Amino acid sequence: MVIKRDKTPEYAQMCKSASAINENNDCTVKALAIAAGVNYYDAHDALAAMGRKKGKGAYMTQLFGALAKLGFEVTSVLHDQRIHNSSRPTTGTICNYKFIKDRATYLVQTSQHVAAIKDKTVHDYTNGRKFQVKAVWQLWRIK
């Protein structure tokens, strides 16, 4: 299975919105906006309400809290080496997981970074790069 690796318009729009408010260190904001299907500013506000400071990264607990407020729950799919489909245990990279499903949304944590995968497309600058995965969570909309 190959995940699409083209730069996405959604990610480009997130970068443009971040530049408009002179924001940086905002991978969690971009990942939240893309994964939850909200605009950058709503994701920014949701993370600020959870304690994220402008220009600073966010803790995963802050990201999960913002997702809950936006109506999502998160299920761990992978943590460290448990579920990679390989002959040798390895955590793999952001684009080579075989459990990524059609029509599903994931948050992928690498070292000091979070990206969104939606409908088998990586929406991030890590697109096509070999960033080692630390954890993966699947998102579910709460009805």
- Tell me whether residue 112 is exposed, middle or buried, using C-beta atoms within 10 angstroms of its C-beta: 0 to 12, 13 to 18, 19 or more: exposed
Note the pTM of the prediction, 2 decimals: 0.83
- Tens digit of pLDDT at every position of the chain (143 positions): 445 555 789 999 999 999 999 999 999 999 999 999 999 999 999 999 999 999 999 999 999 999 999 999 999 887 654 444 554 445 566 666 656 777 889 998 888 899 998 888 888 887 677 777 888 899 999 96
Q: Which helix (H) or strand (E) holds 106?
A: strand 105-110
State the pLDDT at residue 83.
43
pLDDT of residue 51: 97
pLDDT recorded at residue 82: 45
Q: What number of other Cβ atoms are within 10 A of residue 38's Cβ? A: 16
Predicted pLDDT at 23: 96
Q: What is the pLDDT of residues 71-112, one digit of tens each?
A: 999 998 876 544 445 544 455 666 666 567 778 899 988 888
**Residue holding tokens 């809290």?**
65
What pairs with residue 139 in β-bridges? 74
Cα-based angle 104, 1, 128 (whole degrees, multiple of 5): 85
Which pLDDT score, from 0 to 100, does residue 7 have? 74
Strand 121-123, strand 72-79: pairing: unpaired
Rounded distance, CA 34 to CA 52, Å?
18
